[in-house]
Chains A and B, each alone.
Chain A
Amino acid sequence: MAKKLLLDKANVEGIRGYDVYRREGGYRAVEKALKMTPGDIVEEVKKSGLRGRGGAGFPTGMKWSFLAKPEGVPRYLVCNADESEPGTFKDRYLMEFLPHLLIEGLIISSFALGSSRTYIYIRGEYAWIPDILEQAAEEAKQNGWLGKNILGTGFDCEIYVQRGAGAYICGEETALIESLEGKRGNPRIKPPFPAVKGLWDCPTVVNNVETLAAIVPIINEGGEAYSKIGVGKSTGTKLISACGNINKPGVYEIDMTISVEEFIYSDEYCGGIPNGKRLKACIPGGSSVPILPANLLLKTAKGQPRMMNYESLSDGGFATGSMMGSGGFEVLDEDQCIVRHTLSLARFYHHESCGQCSPCREGTGWMEKILRNIEYGKGKMSDINLLWDIQRKIEGNTICPLGDAAAWPVAAAIRHFRDEFEWHVLNPVECMNRNYGLAHYADALEVPVAV
């Protein structure tokens, strides 16, 4: 059983309430951290090797060290709880069942960054969770962990919960800041980065829920001990939300040393694929990351077993690899249609494009329309190359990464499943009645023999 740092107490009865959380060792990390200097805490986080758990995987300690500290200007920490990437539901689990873990991480991080007003920006649809978080913050306050002069350090801090109102784009940090300022969620042009000019033009750090929760074990166990869990630059533990065609969907904490095959088939995790069906494809890190056929998912192009960590999942680049992303792990069995699934994601990105940049605003709609034609037997062979061309023209040409996120799933589907697209075009009637099936997607890879 892998070591658990975040969810080890998730099944303790009453852990949502303050008394049980405290009895189980909660808020020890705050006691320890508030005796340290803010600079030492940042150093500890740097040592831990913690990488942002929202999707980009940027080193958290480094992000913190970029925060500008001009005299007399407030600084803000904002917790990004706008979890909206299809396939991802891990932050919801943390907030719903371990709210005090997030609050504890937020207090330490606020102290380290000098934020006296810290905001949790949560997606509007998680409408029942703000009550849980606000109650946890209130309990923390009553017990002296929040409010004025916390533990006699002279540090004041309040945590507020802000609900969004249904916009995937607000998970992008500058769009989130705009939304928190009461505006449309249109991403800002960077630079200036939020670390210099963020919320209300003040220096701001935006971190994911899981990232901020991970600060608690880092302080408790020390950055160095944390960095020894995992492998290479994939340190610590990662929450994976698993869904799709698996026996045991849910949220799992892994230590990044297990293989993808073990994660899908072992009873400790996904428990295999229902009804004896075979694996066709998988999107391992949220809908934006490249989809992989079974053969490339389980083994890299070099023939090595693919592991559940940042490096191994991206081994081979986009040609033969994918990404860890947000940890939204979606498994597709032999009955799933790649064209239909790609269409569903294209519709999602079209719906969620904020409309600021024309390549994304127009391109996402165009891709959806072409995919719809192909799926419903009205496609032309030239549409496949046209799709490829459109996604190329979106990628890298927009203010924020939503354009890339919309382009990558389409690109990867064509890259690995082009014959399935062609089959749709050549068999417009048959494709309405049956799926292409597993085809050759699980066939063993031909690995060049090492000389």
Chain B
Amino acid sequence: MKFSDEKLKKVDEIIARYPEGKKKSALLPVLHLAQQEFDGWLDVPVMDYVASLLELEPIEVYEVATFYSMYNLKPVGKFLFEVCQTGPCMVKGSDDIIEYIKQKLGIGVGETTADGLFTLKTVECLGACGYAPMMQLGKTYREYLTPEKVDAIVEECRRQAVVNSVN
């Protein structure tokens, strides 16, 4: 297990942001990189690898990885639907959207579709309260969700998965 050369260069760039001897500060950004590089989740060997890169004890990595909600400690689908369910989104119908996604994909919250494409997760406030209901998909937000929009997003993901498997 090893980062690509390009990612290793990025790790060095991150470490250079901090003063001499403060390498540990790079942990959160490097865990983000690792999750990106190694299938969207942090398996124990991945965390151990990050520990060796940053000259940390493995426990220092585990305790951080388990604290923050964005690090996945179990495998997830290729497309992770993280639907906000906090107050302002709830007022605008997030419960119905979550229900619709469950029906549409045939999975419960925290589950992944059999084809390994989709995982549904409910999350707490993502700071898009005025554009509710909403979800995070990868690097971006999908806002003002309706059942029709969810349909379109699912289609978009399926198309993207086909393109990726061809290439």
Contacts and interface: CB of A to CB of B under 8 A. Distances in A.
6 contacts: A84-B127, A86-B86, A166-B71, A182-B27, A183-B64, A341-B87
A165 B86 contact: no
A341 B28 contact: no
B98 to A, nearest CB: 13
B140 A128 contact: yes
Contact of A163 (B28, B87, B136): B28
Given A86-B87, A330-B87, A341-B90, A163 B130 contact: no
Interface of A: 74, 83-89, 92, 117, 119, 123-128, 158, 160, 162-168, 179-185, 200, 241-245, 249-251, 283, 287, 328, 330, 332, 336, 340-341, 344-345, 347-348, 351-352, 354
Interface stretch (B18-26, B103-111, B145-153): B18-26
Nearest to B138: A127
| 7 closest residue pairs by CB, A with B | A249-B130, A165-B68, A166-B69, A182-B27, A166-B70, A182-B24, A243-B129
Given A126-B127, A165-B68, A336 B63 contact: no
Interface residues of B, number: 42
A306 to B, nearest CB: 21
Q: Tell which of A89, A245, A341, A352 has the most Cβ of chain B within 10 Å.
A: A89
Interface string B19-39: 100101111110110000000
Nearest to B56: A182
B10 to A, nearest CB: 13
Contacts of A85: 125
B158 to A, nearest CB: 23
A164 B68 contact: yes
A165 B17 contact: no
A200 B69 contact: no
B128 interface: yes
Contact of A87 (B17, B22, B85, B88): B88
A89 B18 CA distance: 29
B101 interface: no
